[in-house]
Amino acid sequence: MADISSLKLNPPENRYRGALPKIGIRPTIDGRRRGVRESLEIVTMELAKAAAKLITENLRHPNGQPIQCVIADSTIGGVAEAAACADKFSRENVQVTLTVTPCWCYGSETMDMDPTTIKAVWGFNGTDRPGAVYLAAVLAAHNQKGLPAFGIYGRDVMDFADAAKIPNDVKGKILSFIKSGLAAAWMRGKSYLSIGSVAMGIAGSISNADFFQEYLGMRNEYVDMSELVRRFEEKIYSEVEYKRALAWTLENCKVGPDNNPAEEQHSQKQKDETWKTCVKMALIVRDLMVGNPDLRRKKLDEEALGHNAILAGFQGQRQWTDHFPNGDFMEVILNSSFDWNGIRSPYVVATENDGLNGVSMLFGYLLTGAAQVFADVRTYWSPAAIERVTGWKPEGGAANGLIHLINSGSAAIDGTGKQRKDGKAAWKPFWEISPEEAGACLDAVSWRYGNLGYFRGGGYSSDFISEGGMPVTMTRLNLVKGLGPVLQIAEGFTVTLPDHVHDKLDLRTDPTWPTTWFAPRITGEEGPFKDVYSVMNNWGANHGAVSYGHNGADLITLASILRIPVCMHNVTEDRIYRPSYWNAFGMDKEGSDYRACSALGPLYK
């Protein structure tokens, strides 16, 4: 059993250089004096305060810290007050703005003209004053000027006296916009740290600096894997933490059977050394990402800084793994929500340096605050094939077939599903995880010695099965010549198979690796979601990133902010939310998405 006394909840912290992005609330108003503006001052500011309250009470930053909303010092009736608001927002690091109004205002005079902010406008649906008329007018101005904004308009007419009582449909759009806008803002100015180079010819690990810079606002940093060897040999890590981390690992990470042929197995002494190396790798990669002030005690001021990396990738195969232990333990423990320091926000590390799948993981983390599962999209198992191999006729969630998600690398052990939400299997943001839940996740994992056919240097791979019944979303970002980035999204559920069925199927791949049995939600209609086979057949790469929950709609909203078209998804049309700019590019949502993204170009170009 895991020692849950070591799994204390850590307070949220900002690991990265730069202040957290803030939300700016812009209360706009009819500028006419002598009774018109004066009659609207109170209700307009009430709208702004209600929106701020909704946001701060329902959302957090992905690292768990509270969100700060900054409200303009006055209502905005014209250019001078709009400029004063912009000046305040610039000083306060506002990167996402929500304009609110119950009335007519002067569109191009009151709008947010800052090209670097992410924008939405809420026009109150009431007949006392024409807030909806302003909404339409200012969105037209945004579209004409190429500064896209999300429109928020309630379905039902409300009484003016109830303007601050935000209806549920408006709440949903505000929260979706803020969540996605913050995700985009979080990436800006951070780094992707590529440790090593291209793994086994995988295209996703060919780091494309133009994509990161122009679409995400990130910089690329590069470190050769030999840097880990230097830090091993020169002890460039906290030796005190290393001793504590190793003791915790040996106590809480139970070792499973070694599947290698007896005559090829490493000695126990070599396995003990492998554990030491694996723990050091985790410490060193974390320090490379975010730095470690403790290194200053050794006069290692440069190494103490890190690379301000919100995302990293580790090449591993084969230049590393033909000699050194694989990166599985390092990747798993960093991607998970707990380690020897307790329960904390996950780091995001892509196996095989697949930065594109790393970005997919990063999107999921920034939208949910929870750990991500990295996996090969390995095998489609049809119902007929399952029955032929195992003798069991698939039923329930497996009735239409399954996709076997399995890989040696960075599947966070949160993905075991041993955490609980409303009594059901789940994985959650770290601030909601109890020590008992973290301990249950650790207990559900068997650490298996690396397959020496793949990993000549050994290592320890996590072996677990994700509990069935969890709503999940699989995502993948791909780069396509002549097109640029495109995003794929598949919502579905995890599935639990009978033990004997899982064992027979698992043994055909590698029983030392973690498994998630995934049943995407299918439509039965022509296209990539006609059936489970079609999902697998249309997936654009060998990897996918899996988030807890059905967050496909938020991913579509985030993609529109970043000007990345979505080429494949199974999100119902009523949940799709993009800026009003997209409406001008045709009535089919997929085509308009491509045309709008192409017309606007990358967010940071």
CA pair distance 5, 500, nearest whole angstrom: 35
CA pair distance 317, 330, nearest whole angstrom: 14
CA pair distance 95, 185, nearest whole angstrom: 6
Mean pLDDT confidence for 236-263: 97
CA pair distance 85, 72, nearest whole angstrom: 5
* Three-state DSSP state, 516: strand
* Three-state DSSP state, 127: coil
Mean pLDDT confidence for 530-557: 97
* Three-state DSSP state, 160: helix
Q: What is the pLDDT of residue 125?
A: 84
Question: Residue 528: pLDDT above 90?
Answer: yes
Q: pLDDT tens digits for 326-377?
A: 999 999 999 999 999 999 999 999 999 999 999 999 999 999 999 999 999 9
CB atoms within 10 A of CB 385: 15
Q: What is this structure's pTM?
A: 0.96
Chain-centroid distance of CA 106 in Å reads 38
Check residue 60 and report its DSSP letter: B
Q: What is the pLDDT of residue 164?
A: 82
Q: Per-residue confidence at 441, pLDDT binned at 50, 70, 90?
A: very high
Mean pLDDT confidence for 253-278: 96
Indicate the range of 59-73, 125-139, 580-594 predicted with least confidence. Answer: 125-139
Which residue type occupies 133?
A: V
CA pair distance 605, 413, nearest whole angstrom: 37
Check residue 193 and report its DSSP letter: E
Burial class (CB in 10 A: 0-12, 13-18, 19+), 268: exposed
How far, CA to CA in Å, does 96 sit from each of 20, 187, 309, 379, 568? 12, 13, 22, 41, 27
Q: pLDDT tens digits for 137-175?
A: 999 999 999 999 999 999 988 888 888 889 999 999 999
Indicate the range of 106-110, 134-138, 155-159, 511-515 predicted with least confidence. Answer: 155-159
CA pair distance 238, 224, nearest whole angstrom: 21
Q: Per-residue confidence at 124, pLDDT binned at 50, 70, 90?
A: confident
How far, CA to CA in Å, does 303 sit from each of 98, 225, 227, 317, 462? 40, 15, 11, 25, 30
DSSP E strand boundaries for 337-463: 338-339, 342-343, 349-351, 373-381, 402-406, 419-421, 424-426, 446-449, 460-463
Q: Per-residue confidence at 130, pLDDT binned at 50, 70, 90?
A: confident
Q: What is the pLDDT of residue 255?
A: 97
b/e per residue, 296-325, with b = 16+ CB within 10 A?
Answer: eeeebeebbbbbbbbbbbbbbbebbbeebb
The per-residue DSSP string of 300-341 comes to -HHHHH---EEEEEE--TTTTTTTSPPSHHHHHHHHSSEETT
519 touches 493 (CB < 8 A): yes
CA pair distance 276, 458, nearest whole angstrom: 12
Please, what is the Cα angle at 480 between 477 and 485, to 5 degrees? 40
Burial class (CB in 10 A: 0-12, 13-18, 19+), 589: middle
Residues in the chain: 605
Can you read off the two tokens belonging to residue 513? Answer: 């690796």
Q: Which residues are catalytic?
A: 352, 376
CA pair distance 183, 605, nearest whole angstrom: 18
489 touches 570 (CB < 8 A): yes
Q: What is the pLDDT of residue 158?
A: 84
CB atoms within 10 A of CB 257: 11
Burial class (CB in 10 A: 0-12, 13-18, 19+), 444: buried
CA pair distance 102, 275, nearest whole angstrom: 62
283 touches 242 (CB < 8 A): yes
The per-residue DSSP string of 381-411 comes to E-HHHHHHHHS----GGGTT-EEEEE-SS-B
Question: Residue 126: pLDDT above 90?
Answer: no
Q: pLDDT tens digits for 170-221?
A: 999 999 999 999 999 999 999 999 999 999 999 999 999 999 999 999 999 9
Which residue type occupies 422?
A: D
Give 519's strand partners: 493
Q: Which residues are within 8 A (CB) of 14 and not within 5 positions of it... i.e. 6 or more apart?
A: 20, 63, 65
Orientation of helix 355-368 relative to helix 552-562, angle to 10°: 110
Q: pLDDT tens digits for 13-27?
A: 999 999 999 999 999
Question: Residue 602: pLDDT above 90?
Answer: yes
CA pair distance 600, 214, nearest whole angstrom: 12
Question: Residue 253: pLDDT above 90?
Answer: yes
* Residue that is written with structure tokens 């196996």 in the block: 351
Bridging pattern class, strands 460-463 and 543-548: unpaired
Q: Per-residue confidence at 304, pLDDT binned at 50, 70, 90?
A: very high
CA pair distance 44, 211, nearest whole angstrom: 40
How far, CA to CA in Å, does 398 sit from each of 19, 383, 392, 425, 502? 46, 8, 11, 18, 12
What average pLDDT does the structure give for the chain?
96
Q: Per-residue confidence at 45, pLDDT binned at 50, 70, 90?
A: very high
